[in-house]
Amino acid sequence: MKNPIEFTLEKYSGKKSRFTCPKCNRAGEFTRYVHPETGERLPPYVGICNRKDKCGYAYSNGDYIRENPGAHANERITSALPKPVIPPSFMNWALLSKSMSHYPENNLYLFLCNLVGMKEAEAILAKYYVGTSKHWAGASVYWQVDLQSNVRSGKVMLYNSETGKRQHKKQTWVHAVMGLKGFNLSQCLFGEHLLGLEENREKGVAIVESEKTAIIASRFIDSVVWLATGGLELLNPATNPAKFKPLIGRQVILYPDLSLPNSFNGDTAFKSWTRKAEFLRFMGVKVTVSELLENVATDEERENGFDIADYLIRK
Ligand SMILES: [Zn+2]
């Protein structure tokens, strides 16, 4: 791909030069970015809706560069070669089952026991496939199981049993700990397996950043299915659309954490996810971004990265 900065809004040259807007879905109203020499276009969600007042969708080539730093450089290297399609690797169910024990040694379980009681804590961990790991004393494993019941791998993390906060920034994966050679980790949404359950088929979906937030929120609000991306940057439909396909056709609400503007482009998590939502919409996901936390946030909560689980616990 040419450098996205060289792309300009396409000049009108008849119907073929105007497209369907990813936001309002009107045909023939969307102007895309085109390379003046090669005629190559940026992805179909990059452009401006002509219905400025009624729709107002605008996603510039500059926005695209900010959202995909290095996209241009990487593509230059890889576009010369046909992309090898490496199928995702899966792990054995027996490993997952074996880890679903030793809960008294699991700090996350101990924290949840204080919060919601032992019975509920056990039920939540069983429902979400959260196990215990020996990798660090007190560690937990968040297994990622997809809609087809494939185990993608497990993320190992450590919490403080009293505060429920991360014990250290380190995290690892079960396949890495086991030293599996050539393992192709292809992450799915944490909790994705729940979308396939009969009782959840009609439910809306709520998406948060962290696994812990998802499991806690599910205890307070069970009218939606709570899933986690596994991190702010892992809501990445533009670069990993496959991860978000299970959401197509469903009513989805995104709950980004509170955050201060980052030093890179001044975005808060809310702003970043609002932009990503445009791409999800383009894929056919009916998505909104919750403003709940934005509306109630204090400066201190912003600084501390307050999330929807913190809010629900306080309420
Ligand atoms: Zn529009």
**Confidence (pLDDT) at 75:** 47
Tell me the pLDDT tens digit for each residue of 215-270: 999 999 999 999 999 999 999 998 888 999 999 999 999 999 999 988 777 889 99
Give the residue-averaged pLDDT of 197-209: 96
Q: What is the pLDDT of residues 182-194, one digit of tens each?
A: 999 999 999 999 9
**Centre of ligand 1 from the C-alpha of residue 58, in Å:** 9
Q: What pLDDT does 85 receive?
A: 67
**Per-residue pLDDT reduced to its tens digit, 109-129:** 999 999 999 999 999 999 999
Distance 243 CA to ligand 1 centre (A): 26
> What's the whole-number mean pLDDT along residues 287-292?
96
Task: Please give, one letter per residue, the 3-state secondary structure of the chain.
Answer: CCCHHHCEECCCCCHHHCECCCCCCCCCCEEEEECCCCCCECCCCCEEECCCCCCCCEECHHHHHHHCCCHHHHHHHHCCCCCCCCCCCCECHHHHHHHCCCHHHCHHHHHHHHHHCHHHHHHHHHHHCEEEECCCCCEEEEEEECCCCCEEEEEEECECCCCCCECCCCCEEHHHHCCCCCCCCCCCCECHHHHHCHHHCCCEEEEECCHHHHHHHHHHCCCEEEEECCCHHHCCCCCCHHHHHHHCCCEEEEECCCCCCCCCCCCCHHHHHHHHHHHHHHHCCEEEECCHHHHHCCHHHHHCCCCHHHHHHHC
CA of 24 to the centre of ligand 1 (A): 4
Supply the pLDDT for residue 166: 92
Average pLDDT over residues 123-143: 97
pLDDT value of position 72 = 62
Please provide the average confidence, as pLDDT, over all residues in the chain: 91
Distance 21 CA to ligand 1 centre (A): 5
- pLDDT tens profile 59-116: 898 888 877 766 665 444 344 344 556 889 999 999 999 999 999 999 999 999 999 9
Ligand 1 centroid distance, CA of 16 (Å): 17
Domains and CATH numbers, the chain: 4-78 (no CATH), 93-177 (no CATH), 192-314 (3.40.1360)
Percent of the chain with pLDDT over 90: 70
